[in-house]
């Protein structure tokens, strides 16, 4: 009997049309991608910290977009031209000790001033902010080197690892340091020298620039992991601060708001957001950013929460008017913010996506 049933199941699987098999495979692949984006706790063995939380839907979208953009950057340029740079923020004190920076706003200011230097080294880059366990701020950059040469060829990973292990112990392995330095590509040695001479003037300490050791997919997962790690270690002052920055992309990168999850909760949220936006004549996704600024999804969520609370207290029939009034309030708030920033920086702001950058620069 069991043999007969097994044979029937196998027979049914065999007669599935190719289109149906492809469709099922596509959905299975999509489910794996969503699970990977929603929980990145074991995406790379170099960061071993099982965190006691799961990313929210919006946070998972940031991590997923970051990973996709990392893969795109490596695929477009070729992994041989891509470098991974870690920047430590801080200054050398009068006693010779290195004083790390813990203020995220100050760290962002220093990074913004460093952008012209980075543009000399990289054609295109992605930067992720990390707040370390000791709460100091670091930056991790994945970038395409301007010099169109292979920086992976000949790199001595064995001696590089030995030199790093010695530094972690507070020692110096001169043999390993010399061995991996000599073996590195000339363009990489030039970049090390430039960073060593330039970074202290911008308020940065030790930097580490290396080629990519593993595959593009592995390093993309590794970089996206820093989103989760930063959320775990962040302070109250970090809420709302930028986790990911892009340079040289000309706005072509995948943004978290460019896509949505296909879960029931996400679908219900989009329908609610669409209904609220329609009460004030907003019908296109692009208009959301135009009238509500870069954090439009957060503002829409506030409106939806307010309407739901009012409906629970009063009548469903009044929900449209409550939504319209709340949406107008959010739009007025965003417009006031735009005018304040225009007054602050002395120029007209037409693109709400640059609110944060203008505020930091000012």
Residue 248 region, left (φ>0) first, then alpha (ψ -120 to 50), else beta? left
Among residues 64, 32, 124, the alpha carbon closest in space to that of 258 is found at 64
- Tokens 């196998």 correspond to 10
DSSP 200: G
The arithmetic mean of pLDDT across residues 158-178, rounded, is 90
The whole-angstrom separation of Cα 362 and Cα 357 is 9
Quote the percentage of the chain above a pLDDT of 90.
33
User: Beta-strand (E) ranges in 112-250?
Assistant: 122-131, 137-145, 204-211, 244-247
Residues with Cβ within 8 Å of residue 108, at least 6 apart in sequence = 129, 241, 242, 360
178-199 pLDDT, tens per residue? 999 999 999 999 999 999 999 9
Grade residue 122 by pLDDT with cuts at 50, 70 and 90.
very high
Quick one: DSSP state of residue 171?
-
Q: Which CATH superfamily hosts domain 57-150+185-247?
A: ACT-like. Chain A, domain 2 (3.30.70.1150)
pLDDT for 19 beyond 60: yes
DSSP 118: H
Cα(114)–Cα(205) distance, integer angstroms:
13
* Structural tokens at position 332: 């007025």
Tokens (6 digits) for 24:
């099922």
**pLDDT tier for residue 72 given thresholds of 50, 70 and 90:** very high
**pLDDT tens per residue, range 315-342:** 555 567 767 777 778 777 777 776 776 6
Q: What is the pTM of this model?
A: 0.66
Q: Taking Cα atoms as reference points, which of 333, 304, 336 lies closest to residue 320?
A: 304
pLDDT for res 347: 56
Tokens 């009068």, residue located = 94
Considering only CA atoms, which of 219, 177, 278, 188 is closest in space to residue 66? 219
Determine the pLDDT at residue 277: 81
Q: Residue 89: what pLDDT?
A: 95
What pLDDT does residue 43 have? 34
Residue 241 has pLDDT above 80, yes or no: no
Place 15 in a pLDDT band, splitting at 50, 70 and 90.
Answer: low
Q: What residue spans define the domains of the chain?
A: 2-38, 57-150+185-247, 262-361
| Whole-angstrom distance, CA of residue 209 vs CA of residue 142 | 10
Whether the per-residue pLDDT at 355 is higher than 60: the answer is no
235-250 average pLDDT score: 84
């Amino acid at each position: 009997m069991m043999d007969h049933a097994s044979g029937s199941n196998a027979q049914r699987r065999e007669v599935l049309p190719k289109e149906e098999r492809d469709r099922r495979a596509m959905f299975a692949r999509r489910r794996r991608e969503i699970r990977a984006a929603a929980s990145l706790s074991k995406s790379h063995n170099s960061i071993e910290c099982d965190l006691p939380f799961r990313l929210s839907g919006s946070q998972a979208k940031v991590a997923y977009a970051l990973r996709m953009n990392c893969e795109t950057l490596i695929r477009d340029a070729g992994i041989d031209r891509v470098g991974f740079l870690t920047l430590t923020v801080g200054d050398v004190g009068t006693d010779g000790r290195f004083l790390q920076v813990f203020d995220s706003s100050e760290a962002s200011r220093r990074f913004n001033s460093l952008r012209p230097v980075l543009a000399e080294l990289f054609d295109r880059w992605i930067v992720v902010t990390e707040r370390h366990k000791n709460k100091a701020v670091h930056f991790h950059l994945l970038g395409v080197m301007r010099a169109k040469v292979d920086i992976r060829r000949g790199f001595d990973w064995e001696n590089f690892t030995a030199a790093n292990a010695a530094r972690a112990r507070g020692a110096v392995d001169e043999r390993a340091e010399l061995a991996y330095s000599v073996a590195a590509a000339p363009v990489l040695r030039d970049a090390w020298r430039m960073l060593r001479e330039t970074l202290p003037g911008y308020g940065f300490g030790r930097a580490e620039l290396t080629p990519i050791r593993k595959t593009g997919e592995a390093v993309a997962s590794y970089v996206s992991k820093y989103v989760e790690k930063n959320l775990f270690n962040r302070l109250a002052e970090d809420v709302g601060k930028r986790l990911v920055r892009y340079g040289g992309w000309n706005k072509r990168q995948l943004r978290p708001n460019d896509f949505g999850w296909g879960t029931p909760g996400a679908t219900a949220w989009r329908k609610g957001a669409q209904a609220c936006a329609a009460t004030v004549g907003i019908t296109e996704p692009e208009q959301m950013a135009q009238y509500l600024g870069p954090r439009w999804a957060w503002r829409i969520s506030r409106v939806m929460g307010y309407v739901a609370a009012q409906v629970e207290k009063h009548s469903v029939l009044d929900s449209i008017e409550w939504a319209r009034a709340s949406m107008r309030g959010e739009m007025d708030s965003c417009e006031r913010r735009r005018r304040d920033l225009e007054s602050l920086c002395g120029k007209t702001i037409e693109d709400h996506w640059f609110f944060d950058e203008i505020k930091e620069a000012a």
